[in-house]
Structure 1
Amino acid sequence: MRWLLTFLFGVLVGAGALFAWLSQLPAAQAPQPVVTATGHALPPPPPQGEQVRLADPPKIEPDLTEADLPLRPDPVTATVLSTLPRLASGGGKLLVPVEGVKAGDISDTFDQQRGSARKHEALDIMAPQGTHVLAAGDGKVVKLFKSKPGGLTVYQFDPEEKYAYYYAHLDRYAEGLKEGMTLKRGDLVGYVGSTGNADAKAPHLHFALIELTPEKQWWKGTPVNPYPLLER
């Protein structure tokens, strides 16, 4: 009996010593937030071994006001069409978009160099400032836009939305012109000017024809030479 009491006393003493030792260990603390010099609390770091999911990077849209409009397609797709497009209106022909100007009076400036890196890919139709600019074909006005190089511009889609007509350097828009309205061939679009990077001493209409991408984005497409399509 005495030995049993001695054994139980030893167990109690050992348990007490173990409890005292454990109570001296530092308690695990939850991560504390870090406070910056400005007083803002940063979130605590994640536990070791836990993977952090980074937020998706923000989607950056192009600054179209800095673009050299009409925007050029990517080099991979920058191929001028070798065959003439089949336009839905006007018997497949384009009205000369400046009043009083005949097709024979226009020089084909589509392939002219503009600097060392690009071609013109449009027609410059010279006319006095304020001359009427006319819709080259039927179609909807999809964008009225002001850019540094193009000045006051208009983008118009043809009825099948396969092509865009681009009018640039306008002095001003036709009264009542707005996005979404449908123009008929020959309707007033605006007036010849020299806005954007055009020479103030040489007002003209910068006119381009663009084959649209499947997404039908007004600022993208493949340049098409409109000169052979002008009605004579």
Structure 2
Amino acid sequence: MTRFGWIVLTVFVLVAAGFAAMTSFGTARHRRLDTAVTQPLPSSSPAASAALLTVPVKGVRREAIVDSWNDARGGGTRGHHGTDISAAAGTPVIAAAAGTVEKLFQSNLGGTTAYVRSLDRRWIYYYAHLSGYAPGLHEGQGVRAGEPIGFVGDTGDAGPGNYHLHFGLQRMRPDERWHQGIDVNPFPLLAARGQGR
């Protein structure tokens, strides 16, 4: 190949590499989620600096919590984005951290759910499969860590008799709504052990 041919080939490869670096394949949301859910919380984040979350099921010890992050759900069509904490039906569910009840919601997957937003608005604490809410719980209510949220149940897609709390953690921008955060594995902040998956 001539010198001119090598120059043309080099320019072509550089242009193609630059184009590939600027082009995004797939959706940015999926890439953002894939990155966020697998990274440990940065040590400068409010949740990480707050040491540990309160175990949100009364009477459950940290050592009993199992990391169920990314376990297959929906017949293998999706990964699990939370930590399941098994307990007897009706066991009290308590706030894992201080915040404001942002949304009480009934959904097909989560059943009876509560979304509590952190005081700095950077985190959502998600409680799902509840059998019901604590008496008087309402949107806009402030809660402290350890205060009642509801009761362990099997609502939504938990399955009859599969009593547990699905606890989720989402990183939020202050202007995002209760359902718009990025899922983060809550296990390290619940169990006081390193991120298992």
TM-score (norm 2): 0.76
Point out which structure has higher relative CO (alpha carbons under 8 A, 6+ apart). 2
Mapped partners of 2:121, 2:170: distance in 1: 11
1: CA distance between counterparts of 2:127 and 2:79?
Answer: 17
Give the secondary structure class of the aligned counterpart of 2:66.
coil
- Matches of 1:214 and 1:131 in 2, distance apart? 32
Match of 1:187 among 131, 147, 162: 147
Structure 2 equivalent of residue 203 of structure 1? 163
Q: Is the partner of 1:92 in helix, strand or coil?
A: coil
**Please, which of 51, 63, 69 is the counterpart of residue 104 of structure 1?**
63
Alignment partner for residue 131 of structure 1, among 86, 91, 104?
91
**What amino acid does structure 1 have at the position aligned with 2:64?**
D
Q: Kindly indicate whether the alpha-carbon contact (under 8 Å) linking 2:130 and 2:154 is maintained by their aligned counterparts in 1.
A: yes
Closer, same or farther: CA 89–112 of 1 in aligned 2, 3 Å: closer
Residue 82, structure 1, aligned to residue 39, structure 2? yes
* 1:137 CA drift (Å): 0.1
Per the alignment, in what secondary structure is the counterpart of residue 158 of structure 2?
Answer: coil
Give the structure with higher Rg (CA). Answer: 1
Mark the runs of 5 or more structure 2 residues left unpaired by the alignment: 1-27, 193-197
CA gap of 1:211–1:81, structure 2 versus 1, over 3 A, is farther
Distance 1:134 1:83, change over 3 A: same
Q: Which residue of 2 aligns with 1:4?
A: none
Q: Is the 8 A contact 2:121 2:174 kept in 1?
A: no
Q: Give the structure 2 partner of residue 172 of structure 1.
A: 132
Larger relative helix fraction? 2
User: What's the TM-score once normalised by structure 1's chain length?
Assistant: 0.65
**1:201 Cα deviation (Å)?**
1.6
Q: Which one of 94, 118, 123 corresponds to residue 53 of structure 2?
A: 94
Structure 1: gaps (5+ residues): 1-72
Separation in 2, partners of 1:183, 1:89? 20
1:111 to partner: Cα distance? 2.1
Q: Is the 8 A contact 1:94 1:137 kept in 2?
A: yes
Would you say the 8 A contact 1:89–1:138 is kept in 2? no
State the 1:90 CA deviation.
8.5
d(CA) in 2 for partners of 1:133, 1:90: 24
Confirm or deny that 1:227 pairs with 2:184: no
